[in-house]
Amino acid sequence: MAWIVLVLSGLMETAWATALSESKGLTRLWPSVIFVITLVLSMGGLSYALNTIPVGTGYAVWVGIGAVGTALMGMAFLHEGVTVAKVLCLLLVVAGVVGLKVFH
């Protein structure tokens, strides 16, 4: 169960980072509200997961999911450029996250 919560928390990290960007410095109401809610959910889930999963593994997986998810959101919806180099780097992050899970 901790791994499921950790993955969901990583996805919430993607949501809060995207909402933070869209809030334009917390000056827009709804993106700011979404930012706060998803931040609390993300941190709460990470906290829960770290009761079972070692902090080094859990935090790295959480950050990896959030980083890859946020980069993909930027490329897909926020008009950030897509390059072969970016995609390859994101695949390396995914490989690292999967490796941490496999060798946990």
List phi, psi (to 5°) of 67: -65, -45
Confidence (pLDDT) at 51: 98
Nearest Cα to 13, choosing from 51, 77, 64?
64
Question: Quick count: other Cβ atoms within 10 Å of Cβ 19?
Answer: 21
In the structure encoding, which two tokens stand for residue 75, read together? 């490329």
* pTM for this model (two decimals): 0.92
- What is d(CA 49, CA 83) in angstroms, rounded to the nearest whole number? 34
29-68 tens-digit pLDDT: 999 999 999 999 999 999 999 999 999 999 999 999 999 9
